[in-house]
């Protein structure tokens, strides 16, 4: 598929206002994508690599602006691009204002490792754009910045305005065409898992996904939750249908979405299951351990690779097991006497790339494994929890690194485990159905969390205000938003996650030191400034405490927080994992 075709279809998709009509258009694009299908699916989501792969292009705005300027000709420089950006507000639209192509004679620039621009004239294809962008990602070491610039220049130099729009957005990882994960999932199901009436006119007012398609959507969703690879799942759906999707299994080294818990009580657990597995709820950060027999990779809950920041965990795994495994667990920080430290101590590690060794001396972290998804060639996602626990214990033995599940049908015994957990400084307990399988990405009723803490909310920062006087160069008051739960949220689906509604501002509970690091963290995401007030792209999630949720006309959500208090940055959550309005509403009702 030519990149121009992709760009023009992406424009049509962006112009479509209805959800169902958008899904129809995405479906049609997938049907027409032929060999480029996996790439088209990723590009639609602004990705070059699958969601589980942490590889980045490492192209910042400055480099992108320079590449655009260079391709736009000798009369344009980065300053021009940047002043246009200040005026227009979005780099894709800025890129579309230039005439590219005048630099074709400059053969030394723009080629890939496969050779200069020679032989690279003519229309850009989707595959070629993908190849070049991957080449950019693979370019490292001395002189790599110049090399990345050359490759980008080469792409823009051959781009039409529409192509340049999407090329620029793709490089920055944001397509802005209103296509969320749920739309892509539904479109894959509609495209490949039901008979298409070849010559029927598309009917944009009737959606493709009706109740009868729910099984198809579920099949796609399960494969996505296990693999986190939309491109591969689309290809399998097209080439092998539902059976192929059912066979998409776990792969050591490729993270699956974490199974999640709902809040619940011991009474509910025993009523529903008869017997309950009771485990300590460790107060740390979720980690998925993949050991392929030689190397270990660790992934956080939102599938970032956290192997480097956690060398102790890697060392532990490699000393404890010698067969391939996938384990699910929590990384906890422990004091010298072995007692647990607050989970913020672990999260501090996740963002430290460079001084891991020093951090390691300051904070000791350890693994607490509570599930086993793969052991020595056996996939265990569909095995009951009791069996997965047996395998876990067989692998790791009787150590602190394994949670000690108690199986009981007595509420008093559950209360005793709970009291012990709290006494020893843990967060509370988890209750699990011993017969349940591992359901990736699901927040079902098979895992219940019971913790006595007052609830907190995980909210997305969407704005801030510059401080005054001594704090004039620090962002101070932060505007918080809840996720607007997508249509699909109710069905445990991968919710479309690009809409947020404001719910309040937080300014208390933040030390000067924290203000500095928060400013550093948020400033790159500032989208607009109006005097002291800035709007910020949804990237960072704050955990906040509060005394009460009130109905309020002041904010978009219709709610406001009373006495909001900053707790921490949830480094382990992306905006898509932040709390949605449904939870806010429920908490407000429960007060
Ligand atoms: P919270 O902020 O309450 O931890 P969450 O949204 O991060 O909530 P939940 O699914 O609500 O995640 O709670 C389960 C989390 O508790 C898991 O993601 C995991 O990180 C942690 N956890 C600690 N101990 C256990 C355990 N024994 N079994 C399962 N999860 C555990």
- How many whole angstroms separate alpha carbon 518 and alpha carbon 343? 18
Could you list the pLDDT tens digit for every one of the 591 residues in the chain? 999 999 999 999 999 988 899 999 999 999 999 999 999 999 999 999 998 888 889 899 999 999 999 999 999 999 999 999 999 999 999 999 999 986 554 444 444 444 444 446 689 999 999 999 999 999 998 999 999 999 999 999 999 999 999 999 999 998 999 999 999 999 999 999 975 444 444 444 444 444 447 889 999 999 998 999 999 999 999 999 999 999 999 999 999 999 999 988 887 888 899 999 999 999 999 999 999 999 999 999 988 899 999 999 999 999 999 999 999 999 999 988 888 888 888 887 876 666 777 778 778 899 999 999 999 999 999 999 999 999 999 999 988 888 889 999 987 788 788 878 877 888 889 999 999 999 998 888 999 997 554 678 999 999 999 988 888 899 989 999 999 985 434 333 334 446 899 999 998 768 788 899 999 999 999 999 999 999 999 999 999 988 779 899 999 999 998 778 788 899 999 999 999 999 999 999 887
Angle between helices 61-71 and 161-172 (to 10 degrees): 160
| 298 neighbors 313 (Cβ within 8 angstroms) | yes
Q: Which atom of ligand 1 is nearest to the CA of 451?
A: 3
- Per-residue confidence (pLDDT) for residue 116, from 0 to 100: 42
CA of 578 to the centre of ligand 1 (A): 14
* Catalytic member of 84, 281, 505, 573: 281
Q: Give the residue ranges of the annotated binding site for ATP.
A: 279, 286, 301, 330, 370, 443, 449
| 481 neighbors 502 (Cβ within 8 angstroms) | yes
Could you please report the per-residue DSSP string of 93-161? HHHTTS---TTTT-TTSS-BTTBSSTT--S--BHHHHHHHHHHHHH--STTHHHHHHHHHHHHHHT--H
Q: Which two tokens stand for residue 479?
A: 């505007």
Q: Which residue is closest in CA terms to ligand 1's atom 8?
A: 261
- Per-residue confidence (pLDDT) for residue 362, from 0 to 100: 79
Q: Which atom of ligand 1 is nearest to the CA of 572?
A: 7
Enumerate long-range contacts of 252-255, CB under 8 Å, 24 or more apart.
252/290, 252/291, 252/292, 252/324, 252/325, 252/326, 252/374, 253/290, 253/292, 253/297, 254/52, 254/227, 254/228, 254/229, 254/290, 255/52, 255/228, 255/288, 255/290, 255/299, 255/303
Could you please report the per-residue DSSP string of 266-299? HHHHHHHHSSEEEEEE--SEEEEEEE-SS-EEEE
Write down the architecture of domain 260-450 according to CATH.
2-Layer Sandwich (3.30)
Give the single-character DSSP code of 35.
G
Beta-sheet strand order (sheet of 443-450): 260-263, 443-450, 428-432, 276-281, 406-408
Residues 6+ apart with CB under 8 A from 288: 255, 256, 258, 298, 299, 326, 327, 328, 329
Give the ipTM.
0.95
| 444 neighbors 492 (Cβ within 8 angstroms) | yes
Q: What does the domain layout of the chain look like in residue ranges? A: 1-45+177-249, 56-172, 260-450, 456-590
The Cα-based distances of 417 to 50, 281, 412, 474 in angstroms read: 41, 11, 9, 45
In this structure, the dihedral spanned by the alpha carbons of residues 403, 409, 415 and 420, taken in order and rounded to 10 degrees, is: -30
The Cα-based distances of 471 to 16, 468, 477, 540 in angstroms read: 44, 5, 11, 21
Residues 6+ apart with CB under 8 A from 190: 23, 24, 27, 208, 209, 213, 216
**Are both 56-172 and 260-450 of the same fold?**
no
Q: Which two tokens stand for residue 364?
A: 């000791």
Active site residue 281: yes
CA 528 to chain centre: 24
Q: For a pocket test of ligand 1, which of 286, 393, 422 has the largest count of ligand atoms closer than 8 A to its C-beta?
A: 286
Write down the architecture of domain 456-590 according to CATH.
Beta Barrel (2.40)
- Per-residue confidence (pLDDT) for residue 346, from 0 to 100: 86
**CB contact burial 131-144 (16+ within 10 A = b; e otherwise):** bbbebbbebeeeee
Element counts in the chain: helices (H) and strands (E): 20, 19
Q: Which residue is closest in CA terms to ligand 1's atom 31?
A: 281
CA of 542 to the centre of ligand 1 (A): 17
Q: For a pocket test of ligand 1, which of 264, 282, 426, 568 has the largest count of ligand atoms closer than 8 A to its C-beta?
A: 282
Q: Is the pTM of this model over 0.95?
A: no
| Domain 56-172 -> CATH class | mainly alpha
Q: Please give the angle made by the CA atoms of 404, 410 and 412, to the nearest 5 degrees.
A: 85
Per DSSP, the three-state class of 162 is: helix
Q: Which two tokens stand for residue 400?
A: 């602190």
Q: Which atom of ligand 1 is nearest to the CA of 447?
A: 29
CA of 286 to the centre of ligand 1 (A): 7
Q: Which two tokens stand for residue 568?
A: 């921490």
Pocket of ligand 1 (CB under 6 A): 258, 260-261, 279-282, 286, 330, 370, 403, 430, 449
Q: Which atom of ligand 1 is nearest to the CA of 543?
A: 2
Is the dihedral angle over the CA atoms 464, 467, 472, 475 positive or is it negative?
Answer: negative
| 151 neighbors 110 (Cβ within 8 angstroms) | yes
Q: Which two tokens stand for residue 448?
A: 């219940």
Q: Please give the angle made by the CA atoms of 475, 351 and 449, to the nearest 5 degrees.
A: 95
CA of 274 to the centre of ligand 1 (A): 23
């Amino acid at each position: 598929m030519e990149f121009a075709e992709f760009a023009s279809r992406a424009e049509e998709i962006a112009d479509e206002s209805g959800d169902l009509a958008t899904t129809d258009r995405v479906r049609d694009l997938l049907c027409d994508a032929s060999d480029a299908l996996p790439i088209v699916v990723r590009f639609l989501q602004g990705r070059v690599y699958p969601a589980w792969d942490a590889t980045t292009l490492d192209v910042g705005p400055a480099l992108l602006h320079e590449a655009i300027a260079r391709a736009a000709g000798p009369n344009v420089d980065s300053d021009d691009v940047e002043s246009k950006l200040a005026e227009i507000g979005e780099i894709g639209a800025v890129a579309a204002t230039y005439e590219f192509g005048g630099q074709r004679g400059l053969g030394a620039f723009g080629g890939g490792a496969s050779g200069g621009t020679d032989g690279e004239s003519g229309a850009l294809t989707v595959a070629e754009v993908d190849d070049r962008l991957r080449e950019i990602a693979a370019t490292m070491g001395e002189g790599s910045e110049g090399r990345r610039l050359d490759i980008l220049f080469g792409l823009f130099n051959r781009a039409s305005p529409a192509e340049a729009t999407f090329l620029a957005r793709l490089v920055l990882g944001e397509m802005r065409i209103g296509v969320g994960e749920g739309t892509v999932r539904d479109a894959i199901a509609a495209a490949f898992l039901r008979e298409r009436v070849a010559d029927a006119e598309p009917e944009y007012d009737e959606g493709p996904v009706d109740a009868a398609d729910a099984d198809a959507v579920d099949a796609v969703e399960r494969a996505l939750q296990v693999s986190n690879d939309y491109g591969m799942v689309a290809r399998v759906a097209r080439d092998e249908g539902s059976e192929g999707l059912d066979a998409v299994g776990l792969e050591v080294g490729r993270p699956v979405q974490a199974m999640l818990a709902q809040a619940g009580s011991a009474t509910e657990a025993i009523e529903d299951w008869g017997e309950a597995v009771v485990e300590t709820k460790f107060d740390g950060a979720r980690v998925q351990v993949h050991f392929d027999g030689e190397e270990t990779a660790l992934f956080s809950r939102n599938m970032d690779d956290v192997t480097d920041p956690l060398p102790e965990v890697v060392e532990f795994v490699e000393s404890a097991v010698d067969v391939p495994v996938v384990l699910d667990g929590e990384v906890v920080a422990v004091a010298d006497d072995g007692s647990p430290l607050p989970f913020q101590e672990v999260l501090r590690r996740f963002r430290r790339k460079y001084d891991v060794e020093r951090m390691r001396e300051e904070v000791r972290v350890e693994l607490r494994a509570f599930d086993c998804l793969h052991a020595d060639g056996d996939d265990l996602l569909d095995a009951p929890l009791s069996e997965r626990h047996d395998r876990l214990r067989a692998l790791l033995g009787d150590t602190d690194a394994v949670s000690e599940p108690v199986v009981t049908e007595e509420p008093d015994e559950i209360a005793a485990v709970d009291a012990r957990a709290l006494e020893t400084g843990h967060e509370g307990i988890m209750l699990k159905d011993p017969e349940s399988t591992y359901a990736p990405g699901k927040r079902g009723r098979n895992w219940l969390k019971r913790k006595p803490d007052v609830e907190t909310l995980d909210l997305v920062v969407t704005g801030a205000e510059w401080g005054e006087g001594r704090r004039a160069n620090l962002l101070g008051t932060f505007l918080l938003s809840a996720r607007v739960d997508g249509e699909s949220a109710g069905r445990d689906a991968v919710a479309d996650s690009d809409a947020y509604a404001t719910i309040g501002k937080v300014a208390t509970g933040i030390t000067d030191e924290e203000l500095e690091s928060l400013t550093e963290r948020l400033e790159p995401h500032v989208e607009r400034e109006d005097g002291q007030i800035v709007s910020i792209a949804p990237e960072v999630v704050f955990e906040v405490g509060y005394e009460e949720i009130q109905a309020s006309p002041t904010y978009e959500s219709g709610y406001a927080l009373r006495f909001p208090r900053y707790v921490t940055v949830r480094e382990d959550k992306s905006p898509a994992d932040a709390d949605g309005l449904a939870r806010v509403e429920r908490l407000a009702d429960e007060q």
